[in-house]
Amino acid sequence: MASLDVFLAADRVGTLNFDPATSAWSFGYDSGWVGREDGYSLSPALPRVPDPAVTAESHSQRVRKFFENLLPEGQALDDAAQFAKVSKSNAFGLLVALGRETAGALRLVSAGGTVAASVQPDRRPLSRAEVSERIRGRPQLPFTVWDQRVRLSIAGYQDKLAVLEEDGEWSLVEGSTLASTHLVKPEPVSGDYAGLTTNEHWCMQFAQALGLNVAPTRLEFIPEPVLVVERFDRRRIVGPQGLTIERLHCFDGCQALDLPAAAKYERVFGSAEAVKNIRDGASLRLLFALTREQATVPARAQLELLRWSILQVLIANLDAHAKNLSFFYGPGGLTLAPAYDLTCGLVYPKVEAELAMAIGDEFGPAAVQAFDWASLTLDCALPETLVARELARMSRTAMTHLPQVTDRVRKAGGDVATLDRVNQIVSAQAERLANAAPDVVALVRDERKT
């Protein structure tokens, strides 16, 4: 039996176990954590007080899904497996290698290990010149590997580096009291996604202008363009002992819904004719049900999730899957975390023009009409007047702020060709939303009569 101690920030909460002989996973909370008044579950699927109706097999599946969702994906997973010298199918082995610094507050250390505050934090200064050199050298050395080890365990496909930023300077950090505060994301190696840093920065700024809670971003040129994203799962605290970085517990939509990473898209097997109607993955219907049942303030969470959903159609974000949506979690329940990883996917012709989660039954961002919004309203038990109001408000506000945001990003050095293309797409999408809004209420009420 292999074991890892599980910490939330500096608090030991339980033990993660894996039996290689049976491939069974288990997780048990420490009695001290269960008895704490301020204690809480890691997720809705892993309650502090076990449900006697949950079988050992079901428990194993839930544990594996939750912890495996902490791992990176795609090439980043391949790189991590190579440098950890374990198979990429060996999820527990990868958690051993990468678990000390994950998204949120979770930290996994070898049984008997420590994340005590007495451990001296380590800062490793990182110059822009070194980052620039590593960006250019990515074909030879993965961007996640620094100082002969993998420095990042955050889900996703994009290259990114987690750094501590202090007074504009970057460091790689370790220790209990320090953690990364920002993600540095360069342009993809593939020219098929040229301008992605500009694209994402524009979409993040645009979402903020529309009133959504968004992770702060900025463009830098070192001289290569990089997008610098402030982490929302970290909080700075300056005290008598200097700077401390507090880790905040959060998890993504797959973890919230008790789904594996492979189910982050609603169409779990893709959109080929033979499998396109198999929609067992994450969906807006499931997410709205989750917030209705588990949110600290359900009405607020539903409104925020509705605005997030409308935004994805407005900007034609083709990668708004369940792992690109996160929730804070604590004793009071769920709250929606700031939006992140927002891009206009229709900019790139090689990307299939399909939403990750449907609006009603429609996956095409340019094909969503009033009927589809009405279907979403009914499927997700939303007030039709609220949906119609937000469609009208966001489309109207979008047209007002589109030129302002574009001008601001252009002055920050954004790629002009990317900005022009994003403007064309979002302007057309805003018009479609505006046209759909007036008909939603009548369509919903007519459907309820039948």
Q: Determine the pLDDT at residue 111.
A: 74
| Residue 118: predicted pLDDT | 41
Separation of alpha carbons 265 and 184, rounded Å: 26
Q: How far apart are the first and last CA of the chain?
A: 58
CA distance 435 to 425: 16
pLDDT higher than threshold 50 for residue 255: yes
Q: How confident is the model at residue 81 (pLDDT cuts 50, 70, 90)?
A: confident
What is the spatial distance between Cα 253 and Cα 256, in angstroms, rounded to a whole number? 5
Q: What is the pLDDT of residue 117?
A: 45
Give pLDDT, residue 438: 96
Helix (H) or strand (E) holding 16: strand 11-19
Label residue 433 exposed, middle or buried (CB < 10 Å: 0-12, 13-18, 19+): buried
Query: In angstroms, rounded to a whole number, what is the distance separating the alpha carbons of residues 45 and 233?
Result: 21
Report the chain's mean pLDDT, rounded to a whole number.
91
pLDDT, average across residues 183-188: 94
Q: Are 250 and 328 in contact (CB under 8 A)?
A: yes
Residue 276, pLDDT score: 93
Query: Could you say which DSSP state residue 45 is in?
Result: T
pTM: 0.93
Q: How does DSSP assign 86-145, residue by residue?
A: S-TT-HHHHHHHHTTSBSTTEEEEETT----TTSPPEEEEE-HHHHHHHHHTTTTS-TTE
CA separation for the pair 396, 298 (Å, rounded): 26
For residue range 263-306, what is the model confidence (pLDDT) as tens digits? 999 999 999 999 999 999 999 999 999 999 999 999 999 999 99
Span 81-101, average pLDDT = 85
More confident residue, 404 or 39: 404
Tokens 């939509």 sit on residue: 253
Please work out, in degrees rounded to the nearest 5, the angle formed at the alpha carbon of residue 235 by the alpha carbons of 117 and 310.
145
Q: Is the pLDDT of residue 417 over 80?
A: yes
Exactly one of 5, 159, 233, 319 is catalytic; which is it?
319
pLDDT over threshold 90, residue 189? no
pLDDT of residue 376: 98
Distance CA 225, CA 208 (A): 22
Sheet containing strand 250-252, edge to edge, reads 250-252, 326-330, 333-336
Bridge partners, 106 (sequence order):
8
Give the pLDDT mean for 353-360: 96
Give the count of beta carbons closer than 10 Å to the beta carbon of residue 140: 7
pLDDT of residue 146: 82
Q: Quick one: average pLDDT of 343-347?
A: 96
Q: 99-153, pLDDT tens digit by residue? A: 887 888 898 998 766 655 444 567 889 999 999 999 999 888 888 888 877 766 5
User: Rounded distance, CA 291 to CA 301, Å?
Assistant: 6
Q: Kindly tell me the number of DSSP H helices and DSSP E strands found in the chain.
A: 13, 17
Establish whether 407 is a catalytic residue: no
Q: Is a pLDDT exceeding 90 seen at residue 321?
A: yes
Comparing 159 with 386, the larger pLDDT belongs to 386
> Could you give the domains of the chain?
2-110 (no CATH), 122-246 (no CATH), 250-449 (1.10.1070)
Per residue in 218-231, pLDDT (tens digit) is 999 999 999 999 99
The arithmetic mean of pLDDT across residues 45-53, rounded, is 90
- Please give the average per-residue pLDDT across 68-92, as a whole number: 84
pLDDT at 177: 77
